[in-house]
Chains A and B, each alone.
Chain A
Amino acid sequence: MALRIAVLVKASLDPNMLRSKNNGLLDEHAMPLALSEYDKNAVEAAVQLRERNGGSVTVLSVLTWGPVARRLREFEQVIREALAMGADDAHIIVDDALVPGDPASTAEALAALAKALGGFDIYIAGEASMDMISGQVPARLAALLNLPYIGYARSIEIANGAIRAKRDLEGYIEHVEAPLPCVVSVTGEINKPRIPTLIQVRRAFRKPIKRYSVADIGLNKVYKPLISEIRVISVKRRNIVIEGDNMDDIAAKLADIIAGLLPR
């Protein structure tokens, strides 16, 4: 069975490049967008499914960080990365109404887009985005599309029109089966995302990316963003790098420091 696979990816603010303003507020405009860490696992899982079962991998994404005009190129670069990893094409939603994003609006937009595209056999997302860590979008999408949802999968396989997965939960692993179509979220442990080669990166530039507005997909319900401000937690540490003539010397110095701090 040739599978129509959708992979949901987010262009997240990169928390490894955290920037704050003088007043302690997050300086989001100074932070780059990047393909969210566990969404890479989702793309890898999608590409592997296609390699095993045949079919196609379509990237679906909503731009959630503005300003839209300034972020558009960056957003496209992130989408190209997913294409370079092996996805075939991409459909993206770019609209001021969806910026800054809220998981409820994002899920509504993705559901409307999926319907406009005629639906997919399987929808794969990462367990949570690296910036907002809400972990809501795939579950919300499943409810909107009225499909079964398999959350936190660390392995998936498809046979006879059904999906089998091992779900990685607190304290136990659950083996489940669901009929297709189905929505799945994957953990960071499901696979090791491939790093695209230069040729794949170049080829990705020829793959189609189609852009939509909220009006194009007939979306009427857009939620109000709920966040009033984002404050960076400050780190105040001594940042002393212990140096010495040789390793014994450094070890002795650190041993002194640690011994001095030990509770009596």
Chain B
Amino acid sequence: MKRGWLMRMLGFTYNEEGLGELAGLAAALGLEAYALAVGSRDSVADYSYSVFKRIYYAPRMSTDQAFAVISDLYDKIKPDMIVAPSLKDNTTVLAMLASNKKLAMFTEAFGIVLMEGKIRAKRRVMGGRAEAYYEASTPIALTIARGYYAPPASSEKGAGLEEVKPPASKLTILSVEVKEKGSVDLESASIVVGVGRGFRRKEDLRLAEQLASLLNGVVGASRPIVADYGWLSEDRWIGISGKKIKPKIYIAIGISGAPQHMAAVMDAETIVAINKDKNAPVFQYADYGVVADLYKFVPKLIEKLREKLGGR
């Protein structure tokens, strides 16, 4: 890229895969890139894209330790942009750094454009239903929205690695519980059946499973079904804090249509809503709506589809 100025990026990430996104961004925007990652030397080496001048790493860091380390690196490297993939603890560490260094910050940015000493970007606001256009002068901190910056085409690795030693932490990590992991790929599914709090018990989700399998689709869910009740694993979570989907057909069952949920299904080709409340906001987002009790209606829909689709 030919221009009279160069921007320097300091990336940060808690998950090593995040180095791929950071490298993708650095390559796309022509940045001089450095990064700090949490991970072992071996796992970081797997993502040591050669676009990085250097990758600093530590096997483990609490958020306040990462904050201390990145503050030192900030003073040393003097970056124009401090960037992290969207991840809860990445946001925390960047916000602490930004606060400490008196920097502006925006989270989940996309459409990033650089000018001399300036950056423009967009982010979703209002529960995901609107786009805000930001302009700020550098240095700036930002997290990047998922799915916009893929790892660079050249997978060449071998950036220099340097271990850092974090200072003592005020936080004591007592234990870590790994959540049940699913393997459903909602993002590339062509039929998604979404379930919400209209379902009264976990066992009742079988109705949605039956419908989905009849259509060769998969079941996704609103936030309460995953995060509050734990009826489904996190890979099924649809919404601004979960997955964004773009199926041919999205069938929302017992979902009220909150902006934070619907914002993530707007790219669906067709949206069908089944809800017993005719005033539910979900109908405003639907191509086809049915006002009915899901417990009475969905079994009938399955029956009719079976007749039509035969032995599928």
Contacts and interface: CB of A to CB of B under 8 A. Distances in A.
Interface in B279-312: 281, 283-292, 296-297, 300-301, 303-305, 307-309
B170 interface: yes
Contacts of B174: 164, 175-177
B95 interface: yes
Q: Which range contains the number of A residues in contact with the other chain?
A: 35 or more
Contacts of B283: 239, 241
Contacts of B136: 226
A222 to B, nearest CB: 11
Contacts of B124: 133
Contacts of A107: 99
B51 interface: no
Interface in A105-164: 107, 130-136, 139-144, 148-152, 164
A131 B288 contact: no
A59 B133 CA distance: 31
A136 B62 CA distance: 17
Given A15-B129, A136-B107, A238-B287, A247 B296 contact: yes
Contact of A241 (B62, B234, B240, B290): B290
A195 interface: no
A141 B215 CA distance: 49
A230 B178 CA distance: 38
A173 B304 contact: no
Interface stretch (B3-11, B33-41, B83-91): B83-91
A237 B271 contact: yes
Given A18-B130, A103-B105, A259-B308, A240 B287 contact: yes
B308 A255 contact: yes
A133 to B, nearest CB: 6
Given A259-B308, A261-B270, A251 B91 contact: no
Interface string B237-268: 00010000000110100000011100100100
Contacts of B126: 13, 15, 18, 26, 131, 230, 232
A238 B135 CA distance: 36
B294 to A, nearest CB: 11
B171 interface: yes
B288 A172 contact: no
B305 A142 contact: no
Contacts of A151: 63, 88-89, 92
B178 A172 contact: yes
A240 B288 contact: yes
Given A251-B300, A254-B290, A227 B132 contact: yes
A262 to B, nearest CB: 7
A152 B241 CA distance: 13
A136 B105 contact: yes
B131 interface: yes
Contact of A242 (B258, B270, B289): B289
Contacts of A144: 99-100
A252 interface: yes
Given A151-B63, A254-B288, A140 B296 contact: no
Nearest to B90: A170
B223 interface: yes
A255 B301 contact: yes
B240 A133 contact: yes
Interface in A1-60: 13, 15-16, 18, 26
A198 B91 CA distance: 39
Contacts of A140: 95-96, 98-99
B64 interface: yes
Interface of B: 62-64, 67, 87-89, 91-92, 95-100, 102-108, 124-136, 170-179, 181, 190-191, 215, 223, 227-228, 234, 240, 248-249, 251, 258-260, 263, 266, 269-272, 278, 281, 283-292, 296-297, 300-301, 303-305, 307-309
23 contacts: A16-B259, A136-B95, A136-B105, A140-B96, A143-B95, A151-B63, A151-B89, A169-B88, A170-B87, A173-B179, A174-B175, A177-B172, A188-B228, A230-B126, A232-B126, A233-B130, A240-B287, A241-B283, A242-B288, A247-B297, A251-B300, A257-B288, A258-B215
